[in-house]
Amino acid sequence: DAGVIQSPRHEVTEMGQEVTLRCKPISGHDYLFWYRQTMMRGLELLIYFNNNVPIDDSGMPEDRFSAKMPNASFSTLKIQPSEPRDSAVYFCASSREGSLSGYTFGSGTRLTVV
Amino acid sequence: AQSVTQLDSHVSVSEGTPVLLRCNYSSSYSPSLFWYVQHPNKGLQLLLKYTSAATLVKGINGFEAEFKKSETSFHLTKPSAHMSDAAEYFCVVSRRGTSYGKLTFGQGTILTVHP
């Protein structure tokens, strides 16, 4: 089992550019979560999917952020246009059977917007 | 609604001494509780979880936690700290027994282990 795979590991981009973060969940997991981690705010849930359907996107900061899950093995988080305050580590996590089984996190994407 | 409070932002211990990381939770529902560890520049790793069975939960690397409903606590302990335990630890709560899988994270406790 390769775990949750995120790409890229690091991303440096200029303000105003589009950024796309990618996640491959563990096969068979039916929940997928996107979290953002900053020093100031800690870990924040941005959005989560169940069976590829977005369930709760109330944590998405603004319309510049969008997330998709076109199939059970792939999800993207897109920021357009990016701003310096979006700099953070973005984690993807997946789980099976909701919250009962624990979550497996990816290694994260460290985004720096300059 | 649910929330988690980790009572210490930093804990410092000497190698070989006990570790205690404190966590209190609040939940309108029967909770599931987790502890995750994050080593520098790494993702989060599940240490242990409480879902509804035994209130004393044993996890990896010698850690354990006890669910105390009367105190709404889920403190993490280890009898003897190792240098490799230095990391940030997160207490996490979610709603048990439903398909609503949202996790709520505490602010984290940074554990420092001195030789």
Q: What are A7-60's pLDDT values in tens digits?
A: 999 999 999 999 999 999 999 898 899 999 998 888 888 999 999 999 889 899
- Non-local CB neighbours of A27 within 8 Å, separated by 6+ positions: A1, A73
Q: Using CA atoms, how far apart are residues B92 and B72, in angstroms rounded to an integer? A: 13
Q: Do B49 and A102 touch (CB under 8 A)?
A: yes
Instruction: Say if the Cβ atoms of B51 and A43 lie within 8 Å.
Output: no
Cβ distance of A95 and B101 shorter than 8 Å: yes
Report the distance separating Cα B83 and Cα B106, nearest Å.
23
**DSSP class of B85:** G
Q: Which of B34, B95, B106 sits opposite A102 (nearest CB)?
A: B34
What is d(CA A63, CA A81) in angstroms, rounded to the nearest whole number? 10
The residue ranges of chain B whose pLDDT is under 70 are 96-101
pLDDT band of residue A96 (cuts 50, 70, 90) is confident
Chain A: closest CA distance from residue B17 (Å): 28
SS3 of residue A39 by DSSP:
coil
**C-alpha–C-alpha distance, residues A105 and A3, integer Å:** 8
Arithmetic mean of pLDDT, A97-104:
66
What is the spatial distance between Cα B62 and Cα B15, in angstroms, rounded to a whole number? Answer: 14
